[in-house]
Structure 1
Amino acid sequence: MIKDRQFMAYIQEVDQHFSGWDFSHITASGRMQSQLLPWSLGSLVIPLLRNANTLLDMGTGGGEFLSSLQPLPQSVYATEGYKPNVPVAKKQLEPLGAKVVYFEDDASLPLEDHYFDLIINQHESYSVSELRRILNDRGIFITQQSGGTDCAGINEMFGVPLNEEFAHWNLETAMEELLDHRFNITLSREDFPLQRFYDIGAVVYYLKAIPWQIPDFTVERYLEPLHRIYLVIQSKGYFEVQQHRFIVKAEV
């Protein structure tokens, strides 16, 4: 039985509400910080938006990223596959003229053939054949992805292997798939920035928000590894892991 009162107080963060794709509860206060990437998805997207009439934001979460890109093109769609996020996204995006579409299968999106000038995707899965179907003959796809080794240090501390289904997911694999479907790749970069947690409550909040990192995560099940990370933070001031990010821009 762990009797450290400070530790036990921190892990109550598991009860904090999480909505959309908003980590401000732990980022705005500096409790979790990530090293800067050598690119900005938003800065790359802005000039593309100005030349697009039809736009799709894949995996919009609560619409946080898309709403930051105003003014938006004439016709805007946003897909979201996690049902609790759909009403959050609608509240955020519908006043901006965007249509939020719920979907269940990457390989069968409820969207028109050859409709979109631009598809943006931030950390969302996708089917390359569906991209080809819904992009028009001048269409552009740009995505920033989390690679298969993202935050592997967390898994090491918990004694939980990385998800085998995504372990191969990296820039090379993504480029091969796009090239196989006759895309022309005009930008590709990969990076491994550091991410730091400055208290164990931030770790708990993060793992609750991204259940694929430790799929069966509960505080009760993983109390001992959480306490080990807590002790690392008490000693060093932070717990540090390596992220895995890559970006690809591809044109039809």
Structure 2
Amino acid sequence: MTVYPIEFTQYLSDDEQHFSGWDFAWVSNTGRIDSEPLDWSYVSLLTSYMVSADCMLDMGTGGGELLSMLRPLPRQVFATEAYAPNVPIARKRLEPLGITVKALERDDALPFADNQFDLVLNRHESYDPAELWRIMKPGAHLITQQVGGTDCTDINDALGAPHNDEFRHWTLAFAVEQLQEQGFRIIRKQEQFPIQRFYDIGALIYYLKAIEWQIPGFAPAHYMEQLYSIHLHIAAHGYFDVRQNRFLLIAERG
């Protein structure tokens, strides 16, 4: 049995840290993980669209962390969340602001009326183009920032874990084609592959616990040798870098 040094094993406790909503403060606010800035600001883009919207939907609100900070909010605001543990967190944060939170089970069966929304926001959440078309008014806008299918696959390679091919097809080109086939007009499209940097192995472990789909069933005990190798890389170079995959789409319903 391999005996690892304490300066490595002390980080394994990050696997036990509680994660709720969509809050990475444990590693991001402490400077243990960082990402290269994108060439756009999702939140800055929202402002001009929100001002002219009367009824808005935020898809995949997480724990409502981002939505709760947006201003000015339209007269009616709704949010959906598909991850059940996040729903009560989002309701506690958003309902005092007058925002209605709906638990979501299926992308193709949204609990809303036809032609209900002027604006749909979607940050890192799946969607069904036909169902979006149904709930959006003619002339309404969709603003979405998505995580592409090659996101952080360098982590899988470094750990000797298979890539999650379920999302491999998910690219900017594919998403554009989907929306256009539904009848949407693409106003803006942009893609980037920024660096995400981990400054210690505990931050990587915490990240993999939160991003469950990166390596389904991830447990540090299954990858000790590989994690230790990355730990030594960080000790030598100061960090461990991987490539993210992000793309932005703004589309208008015809």
Alignment of 1:216-231 (within 5 A): 216-231=217-232
- Per-residue CA shift, 1:180-203, capped at 9, x if unaligned? 000000000000000100000100
- Per-residue CA shift, 1:109-140, capped at 9, x if unaligned? 11111100000000001101110010011210
* Alpha-carbon distance between aligned partners in 1 of 2:134 and 2:189, rounded to the nearest angstrom: 22
Q: Secondary structure at the match of 1:165?
A: helix
Map of 1:143 onto structure 2: 144
Counterpart of 1:21, as a letter, is: W
Q: Secondary structure at the match of 2:165?
A: coil
Q: Secondary structure at the match of 1:33?
A: strand
* Alpha-carbon distance between aligned partners in 2 of 1:84 and 1:70, rounded to the nearest angstrom: 26
* Alpha-carbon distance between aligned partners in 1 of 2:133 and 2:3, rounded to the nearest angstrom: 54
Runs of 5+ unmatched residues, structure 1 = none
Task: Tell me, yes or no, if structure 1 residue 118 matches structure 2 residue 119.
Answer: yes
Task: Tell me, yes or no, if structure 1 residue 85 matches structure 2 residue 83.
Answer: no
- Per-residue CA shift, 1:128-164, capped at 9, x if unaligned? 1110010011210010000000001101011122211
* Alpha-carbon distance between aligned partners in 1 of 2:72 and 2:180, rounded to the nearest angstrom: 32
Map of 2:26 onto structure 1: 25
Map of 1:174 onto structure 2: 175
Map of 1:37 onto structure 2: 38
Map of 1:49 onto structure 2: 50
Q: Secondary structure at the match of 2:220?
A: coil
* Alpha-carbon distance between aligned partners in 1 of 2:20 and 2:127, rounded to the nearest angstrom: 22
Q: Secondary structure at the match of 1:220?
A: helix
Counterpart of 1:44, as a letter, is: L
Aligned-pair Cα RMSD in Å: 0.8
Counterpart of 1:233, as a letter, is: I
**In terms of mean alpha carbon deviation, does 155-164 or 32-41 score higher?**
155-164
* Alpha-carbon distance between aligned partners in 1 of 2:246 and 2:112, rounded to the nearest angstrom: 28
Q: Secondary structure at the match of 2:196?
A: strand
* Alpha-carbon distance between aligned partners in 2 of 1:2 and 1:231, rounded to the nearest angstrom: 15
Alignment of 1:154-233 (within 5 A): 154-233=155-234
- Per-residue CA shift, 1:24-72, capped at 9, x if unaligned? 1111111000000000000000110000000000000000111111221
Q: How many residues align?
A: 252
* Alpha-carbon distance between aligned partners in 2 of 1:94 and 1:6, rounded to the nearest angstrom: 44
* Alpha-carbon distance between aligned partners in 2 of 1:226 and 1:98, rounded to the nearest angstrom: 42
What percent identity do the matched residue pairs reach?
51
* Alpha-carbon distance between aligned partners in 2 of 1:250 and 1:91, rounded to the nearest angstrom: 31
- Per-residue CA shift, 1:206-226, capped at 9, x if unaligned? 000011001010111121211
Counterpart of 1:75, as a letter, is: Q
Aligned-residue offset at 1:2: 3.3
TM-score normalised by length of structure 2: 0.97
TM-score normalised by length of structure 1: 0.98
Q: Secondary structure at the match of 1:195?
A: strand
- Per-residue CA shift, 1:94-119, capped at 9, x if unaligned? 01110000011111111111100000
Counterpart of 2:232, as a letter, is: L
Map of 2:98 onto structure 1: 97
Map of 1:9 onto structure 2: 10
* Alpha-carbon distance between aligned partners in 1 of 2:161 and 2:222, rounded to the nearest angstrom: 12
Q: Secondary structure at the match of 1:228?
A: helix
Task: Tell me, yes or no, if structure 1 residue 251 matches structure 2 residue 241.
Answer: no
Q: Secondary structure at the match of 2:47?
A: helix
